[in-house]
Amino acid sequence: MKPSLPKGVRDFKPDEVDKRNYIFDTIRSVFIKYGYRPIETPVMENLSTLTGKYGEEGDRLLFKVLNNGDFLSKTNPSLLEKKDSNGILHSISKRGLRYDLTVPFARFVVQHRNDLAFPFKRYQIQPVWRADRPQKGRYQEFYQCDVDVVGSDSLMYEAELVNIYDEVFARLGLEVVVKVSNRKILAGMAEAAGISDRFMDMTIAIDKLDKIGEEGVKDEMRKREIPDSSIDSVLEMLKVKTLGGLESFFQNTDIGKKGIEELKTFHSYFDLRQSTNEVKFDITLARGLNYYTGCIFEVTAKNVEMGSIGGGGRYDDLTGVFGMDGVSGVGVSFGAARIYDVMVELDLFPKDNRASLKTLLIAFDEKSHLYAFDCLNKLRNAGINSDLYPSPTKMKKQMKYADAIRVPYVILIGGNEMETGNLGLKNMGTGQQEALTLDEIISILK
Amino acid sequence: MKPSLPKGVRDFKPDEVDKRNYIFDTIRSVFIKYGYRPIETPVMENLSTLTGKYGEEGDRLLFKVLNNGDFLSKTNPSLLEKKDSNGILHSISKRGLRYDLTVPFARFVVQHRNDLAFPFKRYQIQPVWRADRPQKGRYQEFYQCDVDVVGSDSLMYEAELVNIYDEVFARLGLEVVVKVSNRKILAGMAEAAGISDRFMDMTIAIDKLDKIGEEGVKDEMRKREIPDSSIDSVLEMLKVKTLGGLESFFQNTDIGKKGIEELKTFHSYFDLRQSTNEVKFDITLARGLNYYTGCIFEVTAKNVEMGSIGGGGRYDDLTGVFGMDGVSGVGVSFGAARIYDVMVELDLFPKDNRASLKTLLIAFDEKSHLYAFDCLNKLRNAGINSDLYPSPTKMKKQMKYADAIRVPYVILIGGNEMETGNLGLKNMGTGQQEALTLDEIISILK
Give B383-422 pLDDT, tens digit per residue: 999 999 999 999 999 999 999 999 999 999 999 999 999 9
Q: Is the pLDDT of residue B178 over 80?
A: yes
Residues B15-49 pLDDT 10s: 999 999 999 999 999 999 999 999 999 999 999 99
CB contact under 8 A, B42 and A141: yes
Hey, how many other C-beta atoms are within 10 angstroms of the C-beta on B125? Answer: 19
- pLDDT (0 to 100) of residue A287: 87
Q: B246: closest CA among B315, B182, B330, B313?
A: B182
- Give the closest of B4, B77, B85 to A46, CB-based: B4
Q: What's this model's pTM, rounded to 2 decimal places?
A: 0.95
CB < 8 Å to B122, chain A:
14
Q: From residue A324, give the alpha-carbon distance in Å to each of A112, A123, A319.
A: 11, 21, 5
Cis ω before A3 (30° cut-off from 0): no
CB < 8 Å to A88, chain B:
72
- pLDDT (0 to 100) of residue A234: 97
- Give the closest of A12, A129, A385 to B35, CB-based: A385
Beta strand residue intervals within B113-202, DSSP E: 120-129, 141-150, 176-182
Three-state SS for A437?
coil
Q: Is the pLDDT of residue B111 over 90?
A: yes
Residues 6 or more apart whose CB falls under 8 angstroms from that of A144 comprise A100, A101, A124, A125, A126, A127, A128, A333, A336
CA angle B370, B371, B372 (to 5 degrees): 90
- Give the closest of B17, B111, B374 to A40, CB-based: B17
Contact criterion met (CB below 8 Å) for B139 and B10 = yes
Distance (Å, rounded) from C-alpha B83 to C-alpha A80?
9
CB contact under 8 A, B380 and A33: yes
Ramachandran class of B38: left when φ > 0, alpha when ψ lies in -120 to 50, beta otherwise: beta
Q: B244: closest CA among B185, B299, B292?
A: B185
CB < 8 Å to B64, chain A:
65-66
- pLDDT (0 to 100) of residue B136: 83
Distance (Å, rounded) from C-alpha A177 to C-alpha B311?
50
Q: Which residues are registered as beta bridge partners of A46? A: A95
Q: What is the mean pLDDT of residues A216-222?
A: 96
Residues A346-375 pLDDT 10s: 999 998 777 889 999 999 999 999 999 999
Q: Is the pLDDT of residue B287 over 90?
A: no
Determine the residue type at A80: L
Instruction: List A residues 264-293 in contact with B (Cβ-Cβ < 8 A).
Output: 268-269, 272-273
H helix or E strand, kind and range, residue B235: helix B228-238
- pLDDT (0 to 100) of residue B134: 86
Q: Is the pLDDT of residue A141 over 90?
A: yes
Residues A285-296 pLDDT 10s: 998 998 999 999
How many C-alpha atoms does A369 have within 13 Å on its Cβ side?
19
H helix or E strand, kind and range, residue A298: strand A295-301
Q: What is the mean pLDDT of residues A78-82?
A: 95
Determine the residue type at B124: Q
Hey, how many other C-beta atoms are within 10 angstroms of the C-beta on B345? Answer: 13
Q: From residue A389, give the alpha-carbon distance in Å to each of A392, A394, B340.
A: 7, 11, 34
Q: How confident is the model at residue B256 (pLDDT cuts 50, 70, 90)?
A: very high
Residues 6 or more apart whose CB falls under 8 angstroms from that of B300 comprise B176, B177, B179, B306, B307, B308, B309
- Give the closest of B66, B269, B354 to A66, CB-based: B66
CB < 8 Å to A17, chain B:
37-40
Q: How confident is the model at residue B218 (pLDDT cuts 50, 70, 90)?
A: very high
Hey, how many other C-beta atoms are within 10 angstroms of the C-beta on B221? Answer: 24
Burial of A391 (0-12, 13-18, 19+ CB in 10 A): middle
Instruction: List B residues 310-369 in contact with A (Cβ-Cβ < 8 A).
Output: 321-323, 354-357, 360, 369
Smallest Cα distance from B43 to chain A, Å: 8
Q: What is the mean pLDDT of residues B337-360?
A: 92
Burial of B419 (0-12, 13-18, 19+ CB in 10 A): exposed
- pLDDT (0 to 100) of residue A351: 86
Instruction: List A residues 375-414 in contact with B (Cβ-Cβ < 8 A).
Output: 377, 380, 383-388, 390-391, 401, 404-405
- pLDDT (0 to 100) of residue A59: 94
DSSP calls for A208-265: THHHHHHHHHHHHHHHTT--HHHHHHHHHHHT--SHHHHTTTTTT-HHHHHHHHHHHH
Q: How confident is the model at residue B423 (pLDDT cuts 50, 70, 90)?
A: very high
Contact criterion met (CB below 8 Å) for A92 and A72 = yes
Q: What is the mean pLDDT of residues B287-306?
A: 94
Hey, how many other C-beta atoms are within 10 angstroms of the C-beta on A301? Answer: 24
Distance (Å, rounded) from C-alpha B8 to C-alpha B135?
8
Q: Is the pLDDT of residue A94 over 80?
A: yes
- pLDDT (0 to 100) of residue B206: 95
ipTM (interface predicted TM): 0.95
The DSSP call for residue A197 is G
Contact criterion met (CB below 8 Å) for A47 and A95 = yes
Q: What is the mean pLDDT of residues A24-38?
A: 97
- In chain A, what's the furthest Cα-to-Cα distance? 93
Residues A266-309 pLDDT 10s: 999 999 999 999 999 999 999 899 899 999 999 999 999 988 99
CB contact under 8 A, B272 and A383: no
Q: What is the mean pLDDT of residues B341-365?
A: 93
Contact criterion met (CB below 8 Å) for B61 and A60 = no
DSSP calls for A319-384: SGGGT-----EEEEEE-HHHHHHHHHHTT-S-SS-TTS--EEEEESSHHHHHHHHHHHHHHHHTT-
Distance (Å, rounded) from C-alpha B80 to C-alpha A82?
10
- Residue A370 CA, chain-centre distance (Å), reads 46
CB contact under 8 A, A390 and B156: yes
Cis ω before A119 (30° cut-off from 0): yes
CB contact under 8 A, A35 and B71: no
Instruction: List A residues 233-262 in contact with B (Cβ-Cβ < 8 A).
Output: none
DSSP calls for B388-440: E-SS---HHHHHHHHHHTT-SEEEEE-HHHHHH--EEEEETTT--EEEE-HHH
- pLDDT (0 to 100) of residue B210: 87
- pLDDT (0 to 100) of residue A352: 77
- pLDDT (0 to 100) of residue B421: 97
Distance (Å, rounded) from C-alpha B183 to C-alpha B185?
5
Smallest Cα distance from A86 to chain B, Å: 8
Q: Is the pLDDT of residue B135 over 90?
A: no
Q: What is the mean pLDDT of residues A124-140?
A: 93
CB < 8 Å to B89, chain A:
66
The residue count of chain A comes to: 446
The answer to whether A52 contacts chain B (CB < 8 Å) is no
What's the Rg (C-alpha) of chain A? 29
Determine the residue type at A290: N
The answer to whether B370 contacts chain A (CB < 8 Å) is yes
Q: Is the pLDDT of residue B77 over 90?
A: yes
Smallest Cα distance from A263 to chain B, Å: 15
Q: How confident is the model at residue B173 (pLDDT cuts 50, 70, 90)?
A: very high
- pLDDT (0 to 100) of residue A210: 87
Question: Beta A423-427 vs A433-436: how paired, if at all?
Answer: antiparallel
- pLDDT (0 to 100) of residue A73: 94
Q: In what order do the strands lie in the sheet with B120-129?
A: B37-38, B120-129, B141-150, B329-334, B308-315, B295-301, B176-182, B278-281
- pLDDT (0 to 100) of residue B274: 96
Nearest CA in chain A to B156: A390
Identify from B63, B88, B158, B267 which residue to disrupt to test chain A contact, counting A C-beta atoms within 10 A and taking the largest count: B63
Q: How confident is the model at residue B9 (pLDDT cuts 50, 70, 90)?
A: very high
Instruction: List B residues 142-171 in contact with A (Cβ-Cβ < 8 A).
Output: 152, 154, 156-157, 159, 163
Q: Is the pLDDT of residue B354 over 90?
A: no
Q: Is the pLDDT of residue B353 over 80?
A: no
- pLDDT (0 to 100) of residue B28: 97
CB < 8 Å to A72, chain B:
80, 83-85, 88
Nearest CA in chain B to A117: B404
CB contact under 8 A, A95 and B6: yes
Smallest Cα distance from B215 to chain A, Å: 40
Average per-residue pLDDT for chain B: 96
- Residue A17 CA, chain-centre distance (Å), reads 14
Q: From residue B166, give the alpha-carbon distance in Å to each of B169, B172, B278, B338, B342.
A: 6, 10, 8, 17, 16
Q: Is the pLDDT of residue B150 over 80?
A: yes
Q: Which residues are registered as beta bridge partners of A12? A: B40
